[in-house]
Amino acid sequence: MQLIKNFINGEFVESSSQKRFPNINPANNKQIGEVCEAGQEEVDAAVKAAKAALKGPWGKLSLAERMAMLHKIADGINARFDEFLQAECLDTGKPKSLASHIDIPRGAANFKVFADAYKSVPNESFMLDTPDGKGALNYAVRSPKGVIAVISPWNLPLLLMTWKVGPALACGNTVVVKPSEETPRTTTLLGEVMNEVGVPPGVFNVIHGFGPDSAGEFLTQHADVDGITFTGETRTGAAIIKASADEICQVSFELGGKNPAIIFADCDLEKAIEGTTRSAFANCGQVCLGTERVYVERSIFDKFVAGLKDSAQNLQLGAWDDECTSMGPLISQEHKAKVLSYYERAVEEGATVVLGGDVPEMPSELAEGAWVSPTIWTGLPETAAVVKEEIFGPCCHIQPFDTEEQAIEMANDTQYGLAASVWTENTSRAHRVAGQIEAGIVWVNSWFLRDLRTSFGGSKQSGIGREGGVHSLEFYTELKNICVKL
């Protein structure tokens, strides 16, 4: 059984407390490894190493050398692609068809994208008039923020972690990463790559553990952490703000969602069904940008519901390495219990179960896994818990609407504001509706499509700040204003 260690100052280390927790494969509920849980001592050591590395060889690299290093990290991941793929699929159960197209390539690309984006970002400068007529030059420079705490979730472990580590390193920071306790493997493997490609010790550190009273909380309370970037649940974000309040630490948060899709009668129905099948069920519904609320214009409501049901019925649940598998399990037994409690709640609230709502029958070797059926409901009021709360499972509720205004009102009636999809062939309507949706990203006739140089983040309770492209600079650098009297 593999022992998964912390990675501190370029070395793999166990925890001084000897505390360990099991690493479980959610597809069959079998233990596949043991993870060393970092305590205060390891967190202190990781932050100390990260702080020292800022002034060490890492801080002395030229911009070109640092960006070349990021390219090497990406190449290092790609050189061990199959190992990353297997590690990610064992931790999550997700099908390799998905992880080999999204998680691993995007996990590697995040280093190149940010290195290329930051090679030549201009800073503002102004010539100022002064009474003596000689003027002044007022300009801005950016410097690294310092030690960045990266706290990442389990749904897209490598991709979402490197989405933060990439820009952090590109800007010259050092990082201490706390991956989710459910998915420690790919982050740990990245430690090996960092050593292989020559990233100086202390630049990238990994501590394993949980949130409260464990590595996560110790990290967010640490006095020498200069910024916290976190992706996860909204209520965890609130806990992190409270824990870090005494240190006045800056945060960048990507939080929960309850994302709507609006399907107009003038859409390309086949494409809307195909797109909504992906947005509701991809990664077993465990995508922050996924659709859990679908609003369909009444004249095509029955057709759409029947089409989505047909399409979802074609999803193949199975083992990660089976080429035919298109949907894996949920991440854990605990999450399965949560999702099933919503399946029960939907029925109690009066839903019509169009599809699923139960636990599927799986072959004996997978029978103990965290499997749930893809599920579609109709008939619930907008006030139902299942329509209001983030479930984070392979399920959606479909509601009819009569007017554009009504659809927009229902779509916006949520505390979240992460993402939305609009399906229409009417270009004016597409722009009009997209402009009125309260969300960080709105897709028209698509889903999960984005140039990585554009902004990413949520409004309302879905996040604080924006990451992506030059937008990440705001969090990962300190902007200094210099004014030189001539």
Single residue of 53, 151, 280, 433 touching ligand NAD by CB under 6 A: 151
Q: How far is the CB of 432 from ligand NAD (least distance, A)?
A: 26
Is 163 in contact with 35 (CB distance < 8 Å)? no
Contacting residues for 299 by C-beta, under 8 A, at least 6 apart? 265
Nearer to ligand NAD, 400 or 440 (CB): 440
Nearer to ligand NAD, 259 or 378 (CB): 259
Residue 458 found at the interface with ligand NAD (CB under 6 A)? yes
What is the Cα–Cα distance from 1 to 242, expressed in whole angstroms? 38
Rounded to 5°, the CA angle 399-404-407 comes to 30
Active-site annotation holds for 284? no
Residue 255 found at the interface with ligand NAD (CB under 6 A)? yes
Cβ neighbours, 10 Å, residue 451: 8
What is the Cα–Cα distance from 174 to 180, expressed in whole angstroms? 19
Site residues (CB under 6 A) for ligand NAD, limited to 199-218: 210-212, 216-217
List the catalytic residue out of 88, 217, 254, 467.
254
Q: How far is the CB of 418 from ligand NAD (least distance, A)?
A: 5
Listed ranges 2-10, 116-124, 129-137, 173-181: which one lies at the site for ligand NAD (CB under 6 A): 173-181
Single residue of 39, 463, 468, 469 touching ligand NAD by CB under 6 A: 463
Listed ranges 11-19, 131-139, 195-203, 250-258: which one lies at the site for ligand NAD (CB under 6 A): 250-258
Nearer to ligand NAD, 25 or 378 (CB): 25
Nearer to ligand NAD, 411 or 439 (CB): 439
List the catalytic residue out of 36, 89, 288, 396.
288
Residue 112 found at the interface with ligand NAD (CB under 6 A)? no
Cβ neighbours, 10 Å, residue 134: 9
Active-site annotation holds for 324? no
Residue 371 found at the interface with ligand NAD (CB under 6 A)? no
Enter the tokens of residue 186. 């790919």
x/- mask, ligand NAD, residues 377-416, rule CB under 6 A, reads -------------x-x------------------------
Residue closest to ligand NAD when measured from CB atoms: 211
Give the DSSP per-residue string, 284-332. GG--TT-EEEEEEEGGGHHHHHHHHHHHHHT--B--TT-TT--B---S-
What is the Cα–Cα distance from 448 to 419, expressed in whole angstroms? 10
Enter the tokens of residue 238. 């609130």
x/- mask, ligand NAD, residues 259-298, rule CB under 6 A, reads -----------------------------x----------
Is 76 in contact with 197 (CB distance < 8 Å)? yes
Within 328-377, residue ranges assigned H as helices are 333-348
Is 174 in contact with 213 (CB distance < 8 Å)? no
Cβ neighbours, 10 Å, residue 132: 9
Residue 232 found at the interface with ligand NAD (CB under 6 A)? yes
Enter the tokens of residue 244. 């870090």
Cβ neighbours, 10 Å, residue 141: 12
**Contact residues: ligand NAD, CB under 6 A:** 151-155, 160, 178, 180-181, 210-212, 216-217, 220, 231-233, 236, 239-240, 243, 254-257, 288, 390, 392, 418, 458, 462-463
